[in-house]
Amino acid sequence: MDVREYIEANAADFFADLKEWLSIPSISGNPAHAVDVRRSAAWLSGHLRETGFPTVEVWETPGLPAVFAEWPAADPGAPTVLVYGHHDVQPIEPIEEWVTDPFAPIEDGDRLIGRGSSDDKGQVLFHSLGLRAGIAASAATAPPVTIKMLVEGEEESGSPNLPDLLRAHADRLACDVIVVSDTTMWLADVPSMCTGMRGLTEAELALYGPDTDLHSGSFGGAVPNPLHAMASLLAGLHDTDGRVTLPGFYDGVVPLSDEERRLFAKLPFDEGEWLATAGNSRAPHGERGFTTLERVWARPTAEVNGMWGGHTGPGGKTIVPSEAHAKVSFRLVAGQDPAEVQRSFRAYVEANTPPGIRAEVALPSGGFRACFSPIDSAGVRAARRAMERAFGTDVLFTREGGSGPEADLSEILDAPLVFVAVGLDSDRIHAPNEKVEMPLLLKGAEAAAYMWDEFATALR
């Protein structure tokens, strides 16, 4: 029985298991559901034991628990792979927009509808099906690589305890590569792998002028107006080419390779459709010399998220306002240090605040780095071969514009990332009526089965 036959023969059981798991409302963001997140961890533990993992543990945190499992390779010299995913799910609000019960998963043709079906329970579970298929097809009793799984319970709440958990268990989590199955492919018939996610850092800027709002008849034109200073500071963040002007901002940025740009360009992309998804934006806009996909995936940004000051109510009020405020955030790419960007922003503000205005820069948190998975790494090449065997077609590459805890995983465990996932952008994750394409979950299982063999050879 080959991998594909095994998966077909076991598909019904696989989806029955998945529906059972999806019925547990493991919403990490709602304290009332903490007990359900614990039930979810217990369910997964049982499932992984049944799958054959000799070691399965629930790891407590100050918040909600993660599940760890390990299945050593028969060959002690084989490489080690860590699979990362999460068993918590997003809240279900607005509830009235769900056409089915979010925690009573039902099939609708090829689709399985339910909260967590794509993000991320379905994508965690295809690994156990793939693992069993690979073992069955090879008539072995253990996988060709040591497989570890870490399935956390707080990803949808920002993974607040993950870094500490990773550090505390760094020895047991040691691995040669980290497989993340929590992203999407380009389209059902255009399989792809993610090669990076942008990081983020934020700042809040306050500018203070006169102690009180002044009458512009008496004072206008002779005292500094903090709204003018704010407009100039924010306008000055970009040059006419759409590049960020902060000194050193692009230092160390890992450039897009020609090969990755070439492969991005092969993705079928309709800019008009994309603009429609972008709130019916009327035109693309951004850094000169890059395509829309390159801009959102692989280029760093400065974005003003909010701005306010002076009279904002109805009617006119001819004042020189006392204060101006703005919230700014920076999307980062590989090679950028969030703390360095914050320092550069602070220095920029200090250097460009006019006399008579006092500036305060608040830096709410350190932010997080981008994560990056180069397409020419051994792990990505091996995983891509496995994906191509499963899908029977070329596998392209994408990135994601925002990110979760992946950079922490890679940094703390000092291992490269490989993104293998079969979700779609149309899966409505984080939204009502989340679904997953069931045939794609089976393709994911198949790719996983091949991947262990590919890794056994490529990473040795």
Determine phi and psi for 437, rounding to 5 degrees: -85, 115
Compute the distance between CA of residue 427 and CA of residue 432 in angstroms, rounded to an integer: 10
Least distance (Å) between residue 156 CB and Zn ion:
7
Size of the site for a copy of itself (CB under 8 A): 83
When asked if residue 351 is in the footprint of a copy of itself (CB under 8 A), the reply is: no
Total Cβ atoms within 10 A of residue 265: 12
Least distance (Å) between residue 424 CB and a copy of itself:
14
- Output DSSP code: residue 26: -
Compute the distance between CA of residue 449 and CA of residue 13 in angstroms, rounded to an integer: 17
Total Cβ atoms within 10 A of residue 22: 27
Least distance (Å) between residue 429 CB and a copy of itself:
12
**Interface mask (CB under 5 A) for Zn ion, residues 173-192, using x and -?**
---------x----------
Residue 192, beta-bridge partner list? 396
**Interface mask (CB under 5 A) for Zn ion, residues 119-158, using x and -?**
xx--------------------------------------
Least distance (Å) between residue 155 CB and a copy of itself:
15
When asked if residue 334 is in the footprint of a copy of itself (CB under 8 A), the reply is: no
HSE (side-chain half, CA atoms, 13 Å) at 120: 25
Rounded to a whole number of angstroms, the CA Rg of the chain reads 25
Least distance (Å) between residue 116 CB and Zn ion:
9
Q: Which does 187 bind (CB under 5 to 8 A by kind): Zn ion, a copy of itself, none?
A: none
Determine phi and psi for 16, rounding to 5 degrees: -65, -45
When asked if residue 238 is in the footprint of a copy of itself (CB under 8 A), the reply is: yes
Which C-beta is closer to Zn ion: that of 46 or that of 158?
A: 158
What three-state secondary structure class fits 417? strand
> Is there a contact between 326 and 230 (Cβ–Cβ < 8 Å)?
yes
When asked if residue 400 is in the footprint of Zn ion (CB under 5 A), the reply is: no
Token readout for 424 is: 């779609």
What three-state secondary structure class fits 447? helix
Q: Which does 280 bind (CB under 5 to 8 A by kind): a copy of itself, Zn ion, none?
A: a copy of itself
Least distance (Å) between residue 348 CB and a copy of itself:
14
**Interface mask (CB under 8 A) for a copy of itself, residues 163-202, using x and -?**
-----------------------------------x-x-x
Q: Which does 303 bind (CB under 5 to 8 A by kind): Zn ion, a copy of itself, none?
A: a copy of itself
Burial 129-142 (b: 16+ CB within 10 A, else e): bbbbbbbbbbeeeb
HSE (side-chain half, CA atoms, 13 Å) at 457: 9
- Exactly one of 295, 369, 384, 385 binds a copy of itself (CB under 8 A); that residue is 295
Chain center to CA of 160: 15
Which C-beta is closer to a copy of itself: that of 16 or that of 283?
A: 283
Stretch that binds Zn ion, among 113-121, 167-175, 270-278, 304-312 (CB under 5 A): 113-121
CA distances, 437 to each of 98, 121, 415 (Å): 18, 13, 30
When asked if residue 320 is in the footprint of a copy of itself (CB under 8 A), the reply is: yes
Q: By the criterion CB under 5 A, which residues form the site for Zn ion?
A: 119-120, 182
